[in-house]
Amino acid sequence: MTTVSVGARPFFGRRATRNPLVIGLLRHALLIGVLIVMLYPVVWMVAASFRPSAEVMNSLGLFSKNYTLDNYKHGWSAGQLNFSRYFLNSIAITALSIVGNLVSCSLTAYAFARLEFPFKRILFGVLLATMLLPYHVTLVPQYILFNELAWMNTYLPLVVPKWLGVEAFFVFLMVQFIRTLPRELDDAARIDGCGHWRTFSRIIMPLALPALGTTALFTFIASWNDFLGPLLYLNRPEQWTVSLGLNSFLDVTGESAYGSLFAMSTLALAPIVGFFLGAQKLLIEGVATTGLK
């Protein structure tokens, strides 16, 4: 804590005389300006999803005289089954992945951030090293491995790695978060008679909620959008995920259905946006108000 120069006295620091209303307006104007530029592609996709299929690709604009819901109707029932099944499958895989990542990564991160143990530095090096290898070259050995384990056509290859903390990114992220929390907390807990498990579950985890929220959110996005994993490991249509369903609208060797693609892509965004809105209320904002003592 000593490194944070909180107590340093400023010289004469009364510069907050500017009109807060003007500053507020300027901030909003800046944000909205950036947003318009940034969101145009997203808005375009949503608008295109409501245009008749012949007009989908034809215009950079947003408007059409003939808005229709056809793309949604056709898109929903495309493929060997339909999107209600794909959504359920994606939700199941994503939920299992999130819980798995939260449990395994937080346990691992606590050990690396707070505990002393033999080979700590080497293991931390191993943890980091697993992030450095491009995944393309482990794809084949991993496939061979999962095939040997007879995990084909199950959700295991997509979910088990999350429960075993294979994604070092999240472990490292949580380590960094936990290390911003002052050690005094642990000491206080220990004086109160808490063991490591209780320190972890009662003190550190509640304070690391933003980290958990971030992990949950990123895992949601990654699992939800994952295409390669389901492509390789799920061969039966009844196991298909949303991303596989979306891919089936495309065909460079035949006819693609861009209207349906955009319609279903728009729907596929909805759960992530919903999760994001929920998660940020609960997790990102929650802590700041309680603060930490």
User: Could you say which residues in the range 36-55 bind another protein, by CB under 8 A?
Assistant: 38-42, 44-45, 52-55
Widest distance between CA atoms in the chain: 71
Instruction: Identify residues 269-288 at the interface with another protein (CB under 8 A).
Output: 269, 272-273, 276-277, 280-281, 284-285, 287-288
Return the residues of window 165-224 that contact another protein according to CB under 8 A: 165-166, 169, 171-173, 176-183, 196, 200, 207, 210-211, 213-214, 217-218, 221
Q: How far apart are the first and last CA of the chain?
A: 14
**C-alpha to C-alpha distance for 267 and 69, rounded to whole angstroms:** 13
Among candidate residues 216, 203, 229, 231, the one with its CA nearest the CA of residue 272: 216
* Comparison of 68 and 256: residue with beta carbon closer to another protein: 256
Residues 112-131 that bind another protein (CB under 8 A): 113-120, 122-123, 126-131
Output the CA–CA distances (angstroms, integers) from residue 214 to 21, 107, 207, 210, 277, in the order listed: 32, 16, 13, 6, 12
Binder to another protein among 70, 91, 205, 258 (CB under 8 A)?
258
Q: From the list 22, 136, 191, 193, which residue makes contact with another protein (rule: CB under 8 A)?
A: 136
Place of tokens 């300006």: 33
Site string for another protein, 76-115 (x = CB under 8 A): --xxx----------------------xxx-xx-xx-xxx
* Close Cβ partners of 284 (under 8 Å, ≥ 6 residues apart): 210, 213, 214
Q: Does 16 engage in binding with another protein (CB under 8 A)?
A: yes
